[in-house]
Amino acid sequence: MLLTEGSSLTAREFVTVLGIRGFEVEVASPSRFPLASFSRWCRAVHRLPPAGTDPVGYLRALDALLATGRYEALLATHEQAWLLAAGQRHLPHATGRLAVASAEAFARVQSKIAFASLCDQLAIPQPTWSEVREEEDLDRIEYPVWVKAAHSTAGRGVRRARTRAEAVSAWRGLAHAGAEGAGVMVQAPAAGAYRQVAGLFEGGRLVAAACSQRIGTGAGGSAAARLSVSDPDAVGVVTRLGAELGWHGGLTCDYFRDDAGRNLFIECNPRTTEPANAAAAGVDLPALSIALATGRPLPRRPLIARAGARTRSTMALALGAAEAQGTRRAVAGALKRALTARPPLQGSREVLTPVLRDPPSAVAALAGVGTVLVRPGAVTALAGGAVDAYAITPRTIARLA
């Protein structure tokens, strides 16, 4: 199997899930030693041009790898899914080895503004939102709000604003940093538990779904530890989205569930994200993605992950503590809670760096954890470097023209 990148937590979890199942994995990456490379299950790393700045070169190099015939499937592990959809003409050898939705479908969900508009169209519940086209638009909203760039990943384009002045500053910064015309939106905060629902689709038909709740926080507010949950309402929403879009491949939505059982959806990731909790709960999204890409038989009835599976990414928990609190004590405390399985991590399974099953993963764990133990502020550079390796922007897509 060939992964489209190796720097993200998602790529590393793909390696874990596939490796345990006995699949051989190789990684395409501009980095020589991406996170996913520190694994006995990663057979090779192939240096490619950076997808974000040289998309045509990246796609041509990726296709050259596929042309060797060594790979059964090409798995998009992060925002490269958008690039593969938009640049399929550069991938003639991906036929029968890649499952990805159409570029038109991506256009309806890749942007946060486009996804919010689609939720309005389909009456999917979400926090109140509006697009910010000029500074005066910030006079007509209630505070606090989240200010969001239309295109961003890993929490990099999201700012919390408690006042109009903070919102203006965030809007100017995000608008300046983003692509021309990409847009900025504001959205009211949502109360409750942060969750994700992941679906895998075959031409709009739901093949499998898994819901999880954050029980430990990583960098950028991500879910560094998860508990699989049963949430038929969320599965129903992602099923409707997939059908509306004719989606083909993975689709993941972020949402909050309040104490009254109401869900509010806040974001869509048009790909499979961090699949290890779903695998622990009985739904192997990477293996199902391979079957989808290669035309193998798929379940006739949707597979739904069972509730109660706890997973953790110890290194990600340490990075989250470094970012949130910025002290060595906080990092050490996060490590202690993870390694001693204190509530809510009791019974949790390590999925990012499972050193007992995958000894080389200890190198990445020690490097990442050691860095933030010595200097907690280094988390910004660590996380930023990883994101730069896989981020795709509207400018990237425009370069395909």
How far are the Cα atoms of 67, 146, 217, 227 from residue 314, in angstroms, in the given order? 38, 28, 10, 15
Strand ranges (E), 155-302: 158-161, 184-187, 193-202, 205-217, 223-229, 249-257, 263-269
**pLDDT bracket for residue 215 (50, 70, 90):** very high
Per-residue pLDDT tens over the stretch 288-333 = 999 999 999 999 999 999 999 999 999 999 999 999 999 999 999 9
Per-residue pLDDT tens over the stretch 361-389 = 999 999 999 999 889 988 888 876 666 66
- Report angle CA 276, 280, 281 to the nearest 5 degrees: 115
No. of helices (H) and no. of strands (E), the chain: 14, 16
Strand ranges (E), 318-396: 349-350
In sequence order, what DSSP letters do the residues of 192-214 get, joined into one string? Answer: SEEEEEEEEEETTEEEEEEEEEE
Contacts 24+ apart (CB under 8 A), 48-54: 50/389, 51/4, 51/5, 51/80, 51/83, 51/390, 51/392, 51/396, 52/388, 52/390, 52/391, 52/392, 52/393, 52/396, 53/396, 54/399
Question: Could you tell me if residue 229 is left (phi over 0), alpha (psi between -120 and 50 degrees) or otherwise beta?
Answer: beta
Does the structure show a pLDDT above 90 at 193?
A: yes
Does the structure show a pLDDT above 80 at 135?
A: yes
Domains of the chain: 2-106+392-396 (3.40.50.720), 128-187 (3.30.1490.20)
**Residue in the structure block whose two tokens are 């979400």:** 126
DSSP 8-state class, residue 74: E
Query: Mean pLDDT across the chain, nearest whole number?
Result: 94
On whether the CB atoms of residues 85 and 59 are closer than 8 A, the answer is: no
